[in-house]
Amino acid sequence: MAAVLIYIARPEHRAWRYREAIDRAFPDVKVLMADNHDQALAEIAKADALIAYGNLIKEDLLHKGKNLSWIHGLTTGMDWMARVANLRDQTLVTSTTGIHGPAMAEMALLLMMSLTRGMPGFVRAQDSGAWERYAGGLLHQRTAGIVGIGTTAEHLAPICKSLGMTVIGFSESNRQVPGFDRIHRRRELNDVVGEIDHLVVLAPYTPETHHMINKEILAAMKPTSYLINIARGGLVDQAALLDALTNRRIAGASLDVFDVEPLPPDHALRKLDNVIVTPHNAGLFDAYPDLAMPIVENNLRCYLAGDSGGMINLIEH
């Protein structure tokens, strides 16, 4: 009997939904559960497979998981693989890429609108009992720059176009994606970013994309422009961004991801009135298990049958 460890630490991720679905579809599979690292360490040696959020997959966990032959990350980002050295060559790795597009696109749009229309100021006025009116900006006839053209960008670009925006993409891929007025290589970002009003960062985090939004890119942005990062904190040079925001070299930023998470309560970014801070929440939505489970079930069925070729989102390593 194969044993699968489900390691989900946060209650809002509803681990029970995954266990219930696996128990129903695979009665011969033994399901182990962990909601913290100590529990995961205690159970991992018994598991043949691990289903977990990428940020929970640590070096010591894989070291103790000597029987692991399949790991499924309940996320799109697979940057956790670069942080571990005990990932054996024969271990199958899959991800949940493909389900996040609508949620991430809606979050990006929410943050773009909130910055432009001055929503943080309205919320502060509500909290203080003040009645303050001011003219916010529009997305209409503005330019969105989307760095990284994956599932989220495929959803976001047509929405931006429907609002009357010009949409410019940056990607290393040659594929044509609906909703973009034009697509540039990432290396051209510095030359083009001066046209952009909302720079939305959606690229995967790799050694090549580390700090791709750096001091030079920020200096080339319009003083009226905004940065939105809902991908990974390491894509943006956070120190350079803090300097640009503090000195009003760009108008503002909405940040869902950071170098260190949770962002410390006293961090300088929290104190700026031109910054929106959200707690790595862009990809979290109420229907997550419903959309993730078809991928998990397919891959578990293939795993049990020894059919790695039928797995969805199989990652080479």
**Per-residue pLDDT tens for 245-275?**
999 999 999 999 999 999 999 999 999 999 9
Q: Is the domain of 111 the same as that of 87?
A: no
- Encoded tokens for 267: 């961090």
Q: Is the domain of 235 the same as that of 305?
A: no
Q: Is the domain of 136 the same as that of 218?
A: yes
Residue 223 lies in a domain: yes
Q: Is the domain of 14 the same as that of 155?
A: no
Residue 197 lies in a domain: yes
CATH of the domain at 144: 3.40.50.720
Q: Is the domain of 225 the same as that of 306?
A: no
Q: Is the domain of 151 the same as that of 194?
A: yes
Residue 233 lies in a domain: yes
Q: What is the pTM of this model?
A: 0.92
Q: Is the domain of 90 the same as that of 105?
A: no
Residue 189 lies in a domain: yes
Q: Is the domain of 268 the same as that of 305?
A: no
Residue 170 lies in a domain: yes
Residue 293 lies in a domain: yes
Q: Is the domain of 120 the same as that of 204?
A: yes
Q: Is the domain of 70 the same as that of 168?
A: no
Structurally, the chain folds into a number of domains equal to 2
Residue 306 lies in a domain: yes
Mark the ranges of the chain whose per-residue pLDDT is less than 50.
none
pLDDT of the residue at 211 = 98
Q: Which domain holds residue 114?
A: 101-277
Query: Which pLDDT tens digit goes with each residue over 197-215?
Result: 999 999 999 999 999 999 9
Q: Is the domain of 117 the same as that of 141?
A: yes
Q: Is the domain of 141 the same as that of 192?
A: yes
Residue 315 lies in a domain: no
Assess contact for 73 and 61: CB atoms under 8 A: no
pLDDT of the residue at 12 = 87
pLDDT of the residue at 79 = 85
DSSP β-bridge partners for residue 244 = none
